[in-house]
Amino acid sequence: MDNKGKAVLSYGDGKTLEMPVYGGTIGPDVIDIRALYGKTGMFTYDPGFLSTASCASKITYIDGDAGVLLYRGYPIEQLATHCDFLEVCYLLLNGELPNAEQKKSFDWTVARHTMVHEQLARLFQGFRRDSHPMAVMVGVVGALSAFYHDSLDIANPSHREISAFRLIAKLPTIVAMAYKYSIGQPFMYPKNNLDYSSNFMRMMFGVPAEEYEVNPVLVRALDRILILHADHEQNASTSTVRLAGSSGANPFACIASGIACLWGPAHGGANEAALQMLLDLQKEGGVEKVSEFVKKVKDKNSGVKLMGFGHRVYKNYDPRAKLMQETCREVLDELGLHNDPLFKLAMALEKVALEDEYFVSRKLYPNVDFYSGIVQRALGIPVSMFTCIFSLARTVGWIAQWNEMISDPEQKIGRPRQLYNGAVKRDVPPMATRG
């Protein structure tokens, strides 16, 4: 951290407090307020962490105004074009891209951990078949700590490493099992001569009675979805994982807490909502109805939002959305669906919105979810599984961030304070006198 001078706070009766200002390598400077409470007796108030850097991190950088996303300094566009998902996993975990030998060894180790304990497979039988797959995911991933307790010493770097491999390798198996369980098909064991994404597609869509044929275009599309969702700095689920981990909780429990947070519709559930919006609009008349729909979106009384548009951090085109649009075109072409009405509708909607003053003045651009639902639907992934795929992709980001936190000497248990505005101290009245 660069020392960038001091910020001075005036408070009370002419008192002042000087606080250090630090700069990172890029991005806004921060004011170090750690001494604030001790020196002034005051807290800061920042619900939603709009102005709070909760940690220092070297993993992911977003410039929301410029529409830039970097993993370990590399632009997402280059990673999505030149690397596969496991290369990106290696990068996020280790800070550098692997050379050929490192990549081979990393891929081999992941492949050796793809199976789950046979008794864990039996755990699924305890869930109702109509459970939401994310409910199953939260339970089963949390249960991993009951099966792999030989690697739960978080102070031991080799335990952390083996847990990381187990999570990255087993998540596709668990996601596919959650899907197969929901449709009543037999679980497919992983096949380790396939690459990571092909293996996942086979476990999702293969059946024991037939050979599964891997389609490289579809596999590449899935791999790209995983890359684009692998990390996104201190978002809600990542902050949840860090907070859970700050108490010393084991990595499987921490990742389960991240999955639980991701399940929320304001976080991982938005691609489902964007796809549903397009399907509804299609039913109501499609491209013909775009202008009317946009009018409704602009009317604050309608309660209608353009799902897949806008972002808390990006005030420019989300770089992931551009890549997802490109992938969408490739997948639809491969499947002979170049006239897919939903894709046409999405493009028409995007065009109208990008030219409209309402969206321009508020800097509302398509986000990653605008096209990812169409791609996943074309791959045959049912809507109920969208957030599971997201959690599979984000697991590596969560682990990298968790590991960074554990290794950070400045790490403390996460314990925010509050502005209490409830009742002041009072006595418990006898029951007979209570209103």
Q: Which residues bind ligand CMC (CB under 6 A)?
A: 232, 270, 297, 305-312, 362, 364, 367-369
| Cα–Cα dist 278/77, whole Å | 26
Q: How far is the CB of 95 from ligand CMC (least distance, A)?
A: 23
Active site residue 82: no
Q: How far is the CB of 303 from ligand CMC (least distance, A)?
A: 10
Q: How far is the CB of 245 from ligand CMC (least distance, A)?
A: 20
Q: What are phi and psi of 224, to 5 degrees?
A: -70, -40
Q: How far is the CB of 319 from ligand CMC (least distance, A)?
A: 11
> Which is nearer to ligand CMC, 91 or 364 (by Cβ)?
364
**Residue number of the CB atom closest to ligand CMC:** 310
> Which is nearer to ligand CMC, 137 or 154 (by Cβ)?
137
Scanning the structure block, which residue is given the tokens 């249960």? Answer: 143
Name the catalytic one among 84, 195, 318, 369.
369
| Cα–Cα dist 297/237, whole Å | 28
Q: Residue 419: what residue type? A: L
> Which is nearer to ligand CMC, 116 or 270 (by Cβ)?
270
Residues 6+ away with beta carbon under 8 Å from 22: 1, 2, 3, 4, 29, 30, 32
Contact 318, 374 (CB under 8 A): no
Residues 6+ away with beta carbon under 8 Å from 261: 236, 237, 240, 267
> Which is nearer to ligand CMC, 93 or 262 (by Cβ)?
262
CA distances in angstroms from 56 to 34, 190, 404, listed in the order given: 14, 37, 9
CA distances in angstroms from 10 to 37, 149, 233, listed in the order given: 14, 52, 32
| HSE (side-chain half, CA atoms, 13 Å) at 206 | 20
Active site residue 311: yes
Q: How far is the CB of 290 from ligand CMC (least distance, A)?
A: 14
Name the catalytic one among 113, 229, 232, 311.
311
Residue 336, helix vs strand vs coil: coil
> Which is nearer to ligand CMC, 175 or 349 (by Cβ)?
349
Residues marked as catalytic: 311, 369
